[in-house]
Amino acid sequence: MDILSLTIGRIADMVRKREISCLEICERFLDAVKERDGEINCYLHVNDKILEEAKASDSRLAGGGSPRALEGVPVAVKDNICVRQMPATCASRMLENFVPPYDATVIERLRDQGALILGKTNMDEFAFGSSTESSAFFTTRNPFDITRVPGGSSGGSAAAVGARLCMGALGSDTGGSIRQPAAFCGIVGFKPSYGVVSRYGLIAFASSLDQIGPMTRDVMDSCIIMNVISGRDSRDSTCLDYDPPDYTRFLREDLKGIRIGVPVEYFPSGIEDSVREKVQDAIRAAESLGAEVEEISLPHTGYGIAVYYIVATAEASSNLARFDGVKYGYRTPSHENLLEMYMNTRGEGFGREVKRRIMMGTYVLSSGYYDAYYRKAEKVRSLIRKDFEEAFRKVDVIFTPATPEVPFRIGEKKADPLKMYLSDIFTANVNLAGLPAITLPVGYSGKLPVGLQVIAPFLREDMLFKSASAIENHFRHTS
Amino acid sequence: MTEERKTIKREDVEYLGKLARIRLTEEEINSFAVEFGKILEYVSSLAVLDTGDAGPARGTGRKDGPVRADRTEKSMDREEILANAPEKTDRFFKVPKII
């Protein structure tokens, strides 16, 4: 048995039964990272104290401490989530030397349940991208084919789980940044309903869209991590005053009584044939498991990316104003006065895509354009949300492809921002509506994974995990 | 059908750079002008959409966020915070002379 191939659910059980020590687990993963990360490039920072931390966990257990939900489980964390005394660079020169003086709420909660942080993962700079190519440091590679991208922006986390260089990971999702790379790397990626997981300690991109979520080998592991990280937090006023359920109890093997909607707009002519086929296989599988499948329409789908890029860049231009060379991060050596210090610091510290988005956001919020762009986009956002509300009167969950294509080649879209933006076409509307959605692997096109996306109504994670687990179980037994 | 091309001038890009407090190189100004034109053309599909009486989206969830009591709590360590400062003096952040 290779430790690397185990799920969190299985390893937690082995730790409980004292069949394996926390040190053995962490040593195996650390060795794997040393062996393989030179090729994949998932990690920006590896925690060199993890073996000491694992020993401390073992001593605690030896002293009679009871095993916790994630005892000894090595977890990777996207580099825009603050972990005390580990760098949080957001894959940007701007934050190259930033070491947060605090843990994000999700990190506190992982640690409270015995998880050990293995390292910080690569991403698109400030999470602006869909391929991890805009990292200021290096490009992460897809573990299924190293000439292709892992997706993004949580590409380092997705590749680390896909290449078995951690047991599970945290990502953040603003327009698909957990789900698209999860689909590209053949793993499970979950974006919770807006407000279920605290954003305290997540370096903000677009505050009305951002959510932290788990990236794991299977649906059960996603539920196990959700049980640990979800729930109210007085340090994030957008975090709901809500008692999260035990997510693991929703897992099912059949779909009897579940009504699945399949929106016509998510199968446009531009979608890759192999993706269409695999997703249609998954929909047929759902029927064979007892679900009722119905074609639905989400008429404003096509406006999503336009709305998303206005709303997200507007919020980003405001959130990233804090990087001014005063309190943390990079400061230019060349300046004569304060204004020059700001201008040069930001000009030198930010990469190209970050500048492009801050400036787009500044434009859509600027006097004379605000109504035409930002206000209009927020109105269309209402219509997109209403489409989902109406659909969910008829169906319990919605099935769509996770992405219109399989992982693309490194460099293929880098020169054309608009083309890159369109790779979030099936995921961004979910953020605009604040809904929960999960992507999971449902087959391969050649050697590349294809992902299915399951979308549920607001706070109906129960329906989402029921459907996803039944589909996963079906493919586990047929492939 | 006539195709109306959205354009954005070099001066507009330079002005945006000033508003956003970002120094741009000549090369960036030129290529952003072209790229912004394409992106604005793409998002202009919204302009022709009739949104009827739909208001702007507010909040994302159904429930209101909670409020907390305003109590003094232990904050982060001053030394750890200042360790991240690009320049500091004594217990303070140091910035270029303003007045």
Domain with residue A205: its CATH number is 3.90.1300.10
The distance of A12 to chain B (nearest Cα, Å) reads: 33
Of A217, A244, A303, the residue nearest A8 (C-alpha): A217
CA-nearest residue to A384 within chain B is B57
Question: Does the distance separating the beta carbons of B49 and A346 come in below 8 Å?
Answer: no
Cβ burial of A87 (10 Å; 0-12, 13-18, 19+) is middle
Of A197, A342, A364, the residue nearest B46 (C-alpha): A364
Q: In this complex, how many residue pairs, one in chain A and one in chain B, have their CB atoms less than 8 Å apart?
A: 175
Contact B47, A377 (CB under 8 A): no
Question: Does the distance separating the beta carbons of B65 and A239 come in below 8 Å?
Answer: yes
Contact A439, A179 (CB under 8 A): yes
A70-A74-A79-A85 Cα dihedral, nearest 10 degrees: 90
d(CA A308, CA A438): 19
For residue B6, what pLDDT is reported?
Answer: 64
Q: Is A78 a catalytic residue?
A: yes
- Helix, strand, coil % in chain A, rounded to nearest 5: 45, 15, 40
Out of A329, A346, A381, closest to residue B22 by CB: A346
Cβ burial of B53 (10 Å; 0-12, 13-18, 19+) is exposed
Within-domain flag for A351: no
Q: Measured in whole angstroms, how far is the alpha carbon of residue A432 from the centre of its chain?
A: 15
Length of chain A equals 479
Give me the catalytic one of A21, A78, A154, A157: A78
Number of domains observed in the structure of chain A: 1
Say yes or no: A194 contacts chain B, CB-CB below 8 A.
yes
CB-side neighbour CA atoms (13 Å) of B60: 28
Give me the catalytic one of A21, A130, A154, A177: A177
The distance of A160 to chain B (nearest Cα, Å) reads: 28
d(CA B10, CA A338): 25
Question: Does the distance separating the beta carbons of A241 and B49 come in below 8 Å?
Answer: no
Say yes or no: A90 contacts chain B, CB-CB below 8 A.
no
pLDDT for residue A271 is more than 70: yes
pLDDT for residue B2 is more than 50: no
| Residues on chain B touching A360 (C-beta within 8 angstroms) | 36, 39
Within-domain flag for A312: no
Q: Is B74 helix (H, G, I), strand (E, B) or coil?
A: coil
For residue A478, what pLDDT is reported?
Answer: 73
List A residues 395-424 in contact with B (Cβ-Cβ < 8 A): 417-418, 421
Report residue A356's pLDDT band, with 50, 70 and 90 as the boundaries: very high
Q: In the predicted model, what is the mean pLDDT of residues B15-29?
A: 97
pLDDT for residue A458 is more than 60: yes
DSSP state of B63: S
d(CA A201, CA A102): 8
For residue A223, what pLDDT is reported?
Answer: 98
- For B33-91, the pLDDT digits (tens) are 999 999 999 999 999 999 999 999 876 555 566 778 889 988 899 999 999 999 999 99
- For A4-43, the pLDDT digits (tens) are 999 999 999 999 999 999 999 999 999 999 999 999 999 9
Question: Does the distance separating the beta carbons of B93 and A326 come in below 8 Å?
Answer: yes
Q: Is A366 a catalytic residue?
A: no
Give me the catalytic one of A57, A130, A135, A153: A153
d(CA A352, CA A338): 23
Question: Does the distance separating the beta carbons of B13 and A360 come in below 8 Å?
Answer: no
What's the ipTM?
0.92
Domain that holds residue A220: 22-297+394-479
| Beta strand A259-263 pairing with A292-296 | parallel
Say which residue, A101 or B6, is predicted with more confidence. Answer: A101
Residue A462's alpha-carbon distances to A178, A215, A468, in angstroms, are 19, 18, 10
Within-domain flag for A317: no
Cis peptide bond prior to A153, omega within 30° of 0: yes
Out of A331, A362, A376, closest to residue B46 by CB: A376
| Percent of chain B with pLDDT strictly greater than 90 | 65
Question: Does the distance separating the beta carbons of A360 and B61 come in below 8 Å?
Answer: no
Q: Is A382 a catalytic residue?
A: no
Q: Which of B30, B46, B71, B93 is best to mutate for the A interface (most A CBs within 10 A)?
A: B46
Tokens of B86: 């690009």
**In this structure, which topology does domain B10-48 adopt according to CATH?**
Histone, subunit A (1.10.20)
For residue B30, what pLDDT is reported?
Answer: 94
The distance of A342 to chain B (nearest Cα, Å) reads: 6
pLDDT for residue A414 is more than 80: yes
Question: Does the distance separating the beta carbons of A379 and B84 come in below 8 Å?
Answer: no
d(CA A138, CA A410): 12
- For A329-348, the pLDDT digits (tens) are 999 999 999 999 999 999 99
Contact A183, A439 (CB under 8 A): yes
Whole-prediction pTM: 0.97
| Percent of chain A with pLDDT strictly greater than 70 | 100
